[in-house]
Amino acid sequence: MHQRDRKGAIAFVVGLWVAVLFVLFTMWPLVGDGAIRIVLAVAGIAVLAFNTAAIVAMLRHYRDDKHFIYGLDIKHLDEMRRRKRI
């Protein structure tokens, strides 16, 4: 479970970077004013930085509290498997 959640979070971050950079490079030639380009670049960098930092913090928290976070889920999954066998 932890590994799947970790891969999903990493895929989200990669997708976010691809999407934001795509929009930035697609819109760049259409924006004529230098000040607006700066605002566009700073906003894109801020979104990427804060979202990446949040996901990294979440992954660290998941790693540190893995047993607490996933313990109850694993217990319930084991119980469901046991009931299916009966």
C-beta separation of 48 from 15 below 8 A? no
Q: To which residue do tokens 């691809």 refer?
A: 18
For the whole model, what pTM was predicted? 0.73
pLDDT of residue 2: 75
| Residue ranges of the chain whose pLDDT lies below 50 | none
pLDDT of residue 41: 95
Q: How many other C-beta atoms are found inside a 10 Å radius of the C-beta of residue 17?
A: 15
pLDDT of residue 13: 97
Domains of the chain, residue spans: 2-85
Helices (H) and strands (E) in the chain, counts: 3, 0
Render pLDDT for 16-35 as a digit per residue (tens, 0 to 9): 999 999 999 999 999 988 99
pLDDT of residue 9: 93
